Structure 1
């Protein structure tokens, strides 16, 4: 008898999976990555990366979760007890990400409020770092910043409420509301952006192909990296979400829908962002290249500047932009948190409510560090190391373990084909056996090589020139700590033995 929670409908699962994939990175990371790596020419390696790594791994994780009916730790434990640690490693990566991701969503909430009066003024960079975040030198913690703390409390209350409600009544219903709302809001933003003066200039810069760059290895690494990070692969999310699917679910089709849906939103974000950047370049009398930015700088410095220059309804469109960040962020946060809630419940046999209270409560307490005056520095270092040396490495090891060591590719293919309209063929096997491991391996090599070269770029030789001590305890220790904790928790005995004794679906 099926006792595990289930999605109410296929659409509910797809919206939740799309909600997890569509996050802040789609809006503020993809446009800048595409522009810096050949513009229109970048879409060729990007599409190839989607078809040879993104969707194949996505389908693999769906098949894993659906077949073994469990969170990532339970799934790997059922496959082979010696690899349970890999699932917990992914869970702890998600835990770390959730602690600072919630803080960025909190910033977006307060900036939505600021947009109503354009309170950030003309010097938006100084306002962000000096007035709003009240930043102190790296390594110092400082005091809690009330304007970050209060919206952060709201973020946690919303996320915990949704998760308390469960999979069907909580996560599914939330995504049925948030994702369509996000798409509508962003469509309004894009339509307005492309009608601005200079929008064509920005779109030309975004889509104009630089064919010389397509032969650069760095561009291909960037394409695979963007696909890998944007699809929530190796976060334990998709394995967990797929474990809630009914027995008869079209796994392969779902993988294509979610993968293509995520990429479509990224393209939409690129159009909206670069149309706005073209407008900014026009009114300021500079080139698009001079105003291009990514990450926090794009969202909280450049976009407020753009909103200031809007000919009318500045406050309204400012509010819509930051509301879109809030919606994209909260759906991703909920999916990230579900990984450790499901893991705790599966292993220790505690109720969902207790798992939400414990896992979410600890994450909320840790997140207070990022709500301090020194929080943005800690956030910057933790984000870089947990993504670059956590997610990327975990993804590579996951594929190698499943494809090479455990040789489960054929088994998973048979499982997916038995319930899916689109049958997986040799291309899927080749992607997981050869293409993806080689590409991810090269990405890791390139990452390590690049970081070695950085030793000569700054006084300290560290990322962004941070001190050795700061990088050690806020960077390397976090990335290494995630895998160490994963191994430690895997050593604990399973309190909830019943989930291990169930036959595989």
Structure 2
């Protein structure tokens, strides 16, 4: 029996075996470190219980609509981010490579945090950080150099070894392919992650003072809703947590069958991600409530987000809590699982793009992409300057990478190409949630306007003073320089010709008379 063109392409690129695997992979990408350590603190700082309202509005008006846009691009055009944009219009290919560059940069430092979590999972057993987790983290563990020392190449064995382990595991997963590697990882890790975090939440809720922590998180401050910064925080949180706008969901949606319900899948992924974030809030603030009671202070005095929560606040909780060792193992195991599924999705964006652009096998593309990224990751983040470089790169690539390319992409697709009606028709062919004029209005006007306002505010605040008080040259190189470099490299890669057998038109589907409407 002769294979159809779609079956031939799926065999070459790889594909998820079912919609269920695709959904789990998409959830695995969305559920990452940011859910666990960013959402609880952002919610607390922006009105507590009242924050849920702008958060849900942001999910429905920006997060899920943009998720639909990513799905439509990848599913309709059957390619990685660059190929999907090229098939939309040849001149927009650079947007896809811009997203690929962002993913490459994120992968470099994301692996380091997973490696740190791996060590801390074992530290939890005997509370190796002692009585001062903050001093231990920056001192004995990271041997962090003063930022004024710049980039050092003083390697720290305690972080070099776990970082190498992370890269060996991730490269092996990527080499196995879309279904056997990416898909199978998500099918196994996501249920385990959920079980581990539910167990953590149960343990945290049993701690003395947990109620005070939950009251601090969920007691609504309704006056906060009058503050535009709160609404900006809600939209920013949704955007960062859903893994939208930088190629991941475009790539993943290109691996599922033509008749897959993409809009229904998008709702499942969106609400699963937000549900997990709320679960994280309950677990984290229950533990913070215990710490506040044990220390005789207010919850606000111990609440923190990001690295401070994971590697300073939580170790302090673990040291004092009943069954603290168990809580620690569950917490850091959750960080590892969430981090690995997200890192796999980030690398898949780069590998898929390289395979589409050049004639390469899966293993060959994995080696060409992952090995150089791993080498740079090890050289930068197993040294005494790791913490400084990570903080700068993460801040700038998120704010002036992900948000900026998202705004530019929406404006180009909506206004320059006028492609939204054709993409909406594609989503409606098999989607269980009809996409109408409301979606076009949100993607073309509302979401880019809100994100542009956030960008302007961040740009103004960042330009007002040197970020973090770090040396100007480090901010220029690892901040502004990295954010600009991914754009420049994206433009340069578009000058390389596609491999000869890659059609730059939308793959034909005889049942869809609109399939070629936008392609040029």
Query: 51, 57, 64: which is aligned to 1:48?
Result: 57
User: Is 1:228 matched up with 2:228?
Assistant: no
C-alpha distance in 1 between matches for 2:205 and 2:500? 55
**SS in structure 2 at match of 1:403:** helix
Query: 356, 359, 378: which is aligned to 1:349?
Result: 359
Query: 389, 392, 401: which is aligned to 1:378?
Result: 389
C-alpha distance in 1 between matches for 2:158 and 2:69? 42
User: Is 1:30 matched up with 2:39?
Assistant: yes
Query: 128, 148, 171: which is aligned to 2:182?
Result: 171
Report which stretch shifted further, 156-165 or 97-106: 156-165
CA distance 1:504–1:209, change in 2 (3 Å): farther
Match of 1:497 in 2: 501
Contact in 2 for aligned 1:68/1:504 (Cα 8 Å)? no
User: Is 1:118 matched up with 2:127?
Assistant: yes
Contact in 2 for aligned 1:95/1:336 (Cα 8 Å)? yes
Report which stretch shifted further, 493-502 or 101-110: 493-502
Query: 257, 263, 269: which is aligned to 1:258?
Result: 269
**SS in structure 2 at match of 1:223:** helix
Match of 1:185 in 2: 196
C-alpha distance in 1 between matches for 2:500 and 2:479? 34
CA distance 1:115–1:496, change in 2 (3 Å): farther
Match of 2:514 in 1: none
Match of 1:458 in 2: none
Match of 1:361 in 2: 371
CA distance 1:496–1:103, change in 2 (3 Å): farther
User: Is 1:304 matched up with 2:315?
Assistant: yes
User: Is 1:109 matched up with 2:118?
Assistant: yes
Counterparts of 1:13-412 in structure 2, within 5 Å, are 13-138=22-147, 139-311=150-322, 313-368=323-378, 369-412=380-423
CA distance 1:496–1:258, change in 2 (3 Å): farther
**SS in structure 1 at match of 2:504:** helix
C-alpha distance in 2 between matches for 1:499 and 1:297? 48
Q: Which runs of 5+ in 2 are unaligned?
A: 510-520
State the shift of 1:439 in Å.
0.7
C-alpha distance in 2 between matches for 1:14 and 1:157? 26
TM-score relative to the length of structure 1: 0.97
TM-score relative to the length of structure 2: 0.94
C-alpha distance in 2 between matches for 1:248 and 1:351? 27
User: Is 1:486 matched up with 2:497?
Assistant: no
Report which stretch shifted further, 408-417 or 443-452: 443-452
Report which stretch shifted further, 494-503 or 369-378: 494-503
State the shift of 1:500 in Å.
2.9
How many residue pairs are counted as aligned between the two chains? 497
Contact in 1 for aligned 2:142/2:384 (Cα 8 Å)? yes
C-alpha distance in 1 between matches for 2:472 and 2:481? 12
State the shift of 1:496 in Å.
4.5
State the shift of 1:116 in Å.
1.6
State the shift of 1:404 in Å.
1.3
Contact in 1 for aligned 2:103/2:346 (Cα 8 Å)? yes
C-alpha distance in 2 between matches for 1:387 and 1:47? 22
Can you list the C-alpha shifts for 1:399-445, whole angstroms capped at 9, x where unaligned? 11111111111101100101112211222111112211111111111
State the shift of 1:308 in Å.
0.6
C-alpha distance in 2 between matches for 1:7 and 1:503? 18
Contact in 2 for aligned 1:20/1:232 (Cα 8 Å)? yes
**SS in structure 2 at match of 1:226:** helix
Can you list the C-alpha shifts for 1:196-231, whole angstroms capped at 9, x where unaligned? 111000000000011111111100110000000111
User: Is 1:473 matched up with 2:477?
Assistant: yes
Match of 1:431 in 2: 442
Query: 405, 409, 426: which is aligned to 1:415?
Result: 426
State the shift of 1:498 in Å.
2.5
Can you list the C-alpha shifts for 1:326-347, whole angstroms capped at 9, x where unaligned? 0000000000000000000000
- Pairwise CA RMSD: 1.0
CA distance 1:496–1:292, change in 2 (3 Å): farther
Q: Which runs of 5+ in 1 are unaligned?
A: 456-460
**SS in structure 2 at match of 1:328:** helix
**SS in structure 2 at match of 1:144:** coil
Contact in 1 for aligned 2:33/2:338 (Cα 8 Å)? yes
Contact in 2 for aligned 1:55/1:256 (Cα 8 Å)? yes
